Every structure is written in structure tokens, then in C-alpha cells.
Amino acid sequence: MMKFSRIEVALKMKETGFVPVFFHKDVEVSINILKACYEGGVRVFEFTNRGDNAHEIFRKLIDYRDEFLPDLALGIGSIVDAPTTALYIQSGADFVVSPLVNEEMAKICNRRKVAWNPGCGTISDISKAEELGAEVVKVFPATQVGGPGFIKAVKAPMPWTNIMPTGGVKPTYENLKEWFDAGAYCVGIGGQLFVKAADGSFDYQQIKDLVYDVRIYIEKLQLKTVDV
């Protein structure tokens, strides 16, 4: 069963300002990434369903979270169908992220009061997702869909919409400013967040430091934006 309600997850997304998006087939690596992000200030994290036996890794991450990272909302991403949604909810996912809008996924999440963040590429997608109960919608792939300008355009007629752009978001103040000035609720950040050392291994200290910097950038930017 999930640890945090869908409203609690939405509030954590707003407070943290960004959601790290990550997958690795090695459990130890995944745990170390989770720990580095948490120590850097992250309180919501998306592990993606992108490899064989990803659900087994996810279950171990949930166990680690429960013991060592009590304030972290841990969700699953890259889910495209209802059966897989149910599998991860049973494994303890606090939220489910998808690259698309799937009504059957929405029904499963809503029955269990689990946060559902569907991927949208048009204003019609966003409206449909909100009708199905999505509190925060994911715009994906954000840069290709239209970038910050798309979010600003959507927010004009639909100011109540909470948008999380994912895909092409960079962990720099300048890029984050573009997204938050346009009205982003929070952002999803993937590969560019996970710094590697010269030998190709993940540099957990640098990742922790970068996560902290991104949190500070977003905190400053949120103070300048209107309340959502």
C-alpha cells in the first residue's frame, strides 16, 4: 500500500519543485542514487519501469525507503497499461507516472487513492486527464511538445492546471527559470541530473550537490511565481 496520499504527493511535488527520474538495473546503484537525492533535499522520486524485472528492484527500493528515507514519496514511471499499474500499486508505489493518458490506469489509481500523473501533449489531453482525476499532469516530451511557451499558452485559459514538464528540462538556473516563469508546477529531470565520474560510475556526492543546487534555484524561482 502507498505511504502518501495523492494530495500529499502533489504537495511534495510542489514543495520540492522537481522530480528526479531514474532507472538502473543494479539495486545497489539505485539505492545510492535514491539516498544521494534524498540527502540533497528531494522528497519525491520517480523510478522508471524501463528494464527487465524493474518491479523487483522497485520493491527493494520501497523497503529501503521505508527503513531509511521516511519522508520520501517514491513512485513509478513509464507505465502504459492497467495491469502494470496494479502491479506497482501492490508493490507500494506512492504515485504512477505515464507518458500517455489511459483511462483504465486512471480508474485503478483512483480506486486506491493513488496519485496518477499522465503524460499529455495537447490541451485536449490535459482536459481529459483532469476529468479522470489527475491532480498534476505531465507534459511529455516537454521540449518537443512546445517548451515553456506551450505551458504558458495552456495556463492562459486553464490557470488551475498543474503542469510538470518532463523531457529536455536541464538542471541549470537559466533553463529552470524558463519553465517556472511559464507557470510550471514542478519539473521532471532525468539523465542530466545524474553526474558520472571519469570512470563512468555515478558520482554520488556531485549528484547530491547538484540536487541541492536545483532545490535552491527552484525555491528562488517559486517565490517569484504566482501561487498555483
Q: What is the pLDDT of residue 227?
A: 44
pLDDT given at position 51: 86
pLDDT value at residue 225: 53
- The Cα 39–Cα 75 span in angstroms is 18
Distance CA 185, CA 225 (A): 10
Q: Half-sphere exposure of residue 206, counting CA atoms within 13 Å on the CB side?
A: 11
Instruction: Average pLDDT across each block of 10 residues of the chain; the chain has 228 residues. List them in order.
Output: 96 97 97 98 98 94 98 98 98 98 98 97 97 97 94 97 96 97 97 94 98 97 66
Domain annotation for the chain: domains and CATH numbers: 6-222 (3.20.20.70)
pLDDT of residue 113: 96
Give the DSSP letter string of 173-213: HHHHHHHHHTT-S-EEE-GGGS-B-TTSSB-HHHHHHHHHH
Give me the pLDDT at residue 226, please: 45
227 sits in which H/E element: none
**What residues form DSSP beta bridges with 75?**
46
pTM of the model: 0.95
Sheet holding 119-120, edge to edge: 119-120, 137-139, 163-165
Residues 6+ apart with CB under 8 A from 123: 154, 157, 158
